Amino acid sequence: MKKLDLSIIYKNGRIKKGALSNEWYYLNNLHHLLHDICEYTSFLNPYNVSLRERIYYIDNNINSVQLCSYCNKNKLIFKPNKICLTQICGDPSCKKILTSIRSKDMHRNMSDVKKKDRSKKISISNSGSFLERYGVEKSKIIIDKLSKSHTGKKQSKKTIRKRIETRKNNGLDWHTEEVKEKISRTNQITWNSNEYKLKRHLIYDNEYKNKMSNIMKNKILTGEFTPCITNSWTKWKSYAIFNGNIKKFRSNWEAVFWLLNVECHYEKIRIPYKLSNNDKIYIVDFCDDVNRILYEIKPYSELNSLKNSVKIKFATEWCKKNGWKYIIITDDWYKENAKKVDYSVNPQLKHSMKKFI
């Protein structure tokens, strides 16, 4: 695969301010570049990675997920502060293996004299009491820490009662009645005031919803999430049986098209577009990677709606930029091809195709 050119997002060797957020690409009319970055690193989709990590993989021309060499299962962790991948994954067993290997390497590279000196120091540090090893002040601190951290020792009833009473402020109230009333009045003003309710309502309705909306849009764009196939008019019955396997679709029209074009991928390409100044994601019905063709299934009755007209416009522009073709499959295609489907294998599709057969 040819390396993606990201020079437009760099300035003086550093990534431009804001280029690590999706909004920056839409504001600078570079949404096609964002899509290319996500498409180029689609192998990272199952791991829910950041945009910075995707750019790192592209810059270093890495075309596959970098797995831990010790367990060969988990992905290596990306460190955004150092712009690098860790040597191992976060699994404790892998950490133990690496620590063991490092200690063995260190011991192997040491001279015989250093080995003897090290063994003597370890022997001296482990011999004698805490007082002999650490001195008066340090030994007291260590013993106190050990006694506090030792929770496995069974406590007597007297110790348990003393501990509970201590947590209850030795049986006394933490606050006087006057202080309690003051706290109650303050809480009522803070939590029950109209001003606070309005502020909380605005934060939840605007900031939180916008944040969640942007997160979900990003996941849809990168392929991490696809809206559930639960169209009310299909009732989960739009599916096609091919070679004994069942594949679900959003409509019977899509199922029939796929049966005659099984080489096509379903809902793989995602194109960002704007509708009434709102950012949307257009999930194209089918794509043919070999011939670089996008297919959209649309009956004549739905073809000229505002939403579909905008989607077609953005899809056409995307295809021109990326060297693809955009073809809309309408009623005419089904008049010519609907008869080619074997409805004895897929009888659930016959009712929708009656007028074309």
Quote the pLDDT of residue 233.
Answer: 47
Dist. CA 289–CA 282, nearest whole Å = 18
Task: Decide if 167 is inside a domain.
Answer: no
> How many Cβ atoms sit within 10 Å of the Cβ of residue 296?
18
Task: Decide if 104 is inside a domain.
Answer: no
Task: Decide if 100 is inside a domain.
Answer: no
114/186 same-domain check: no
Asked if 30 and 8 count as a contact pair (C-beta separation under 8 A), the reply is: yes
Dist. CA 265–CA 288, nearest whole Å = 7
What tokens appear for 269 in the block?
């390409």
Task: Decide if 158 is inside a domain.
Answer: no
pLDDT per residue, tens digit, the chain (357 aa), is: 567 788 888 888 888 888 888 888 888 888 888 888 888 888 888 888 888 899 999 888 888 999 998 888 889 999 888 889 988 888 888 888 888 888 878 878 888 888 888 777 777 666 666 666 677 777 777 777 666 655 555 667 777 777 666 665 655 666 788 888 888 888 777 777 777 766 666 556 666 677 778 888 888 888 777 777 655 444 556 889 998 888 889 899 999 999 999 999 999 999 999 988 888 999 999 999 999 999 999 999 888 889 999 999 999 999 999 999 999 999 999 999 999 999 999 998 998 899 998
215/253 same-domain check: no
Amino acid at 206: N
Task: Decide if 307 is inside a domain.
Answer: yes
Task: Decide if 318 is inside a domain.
Answer: yes
Q: Which domain holds residue 180?
A: 172-222
Residue from 305, 355, 312, 303 nearest 334 by CA? 355
Split into its structural domains, the chain has a count of 4
What tokens appear for 297 in the block?
């299934």
Helix (H, G, I), strand (E, B) or coil at 137: helix
250/341 same-domain check: yes
What tokens appear for 120 in the block?
């003597």
Q: How does 10-33 read in b/e, with b if 16+ C-beta sit within 10 Å?
A: eeeeebeeebeebebbeeeebbeb
Task: Decide if 232 is inside a domain.
Answer: no
Task: Decide if 103 is inside a domain.
Answer: no
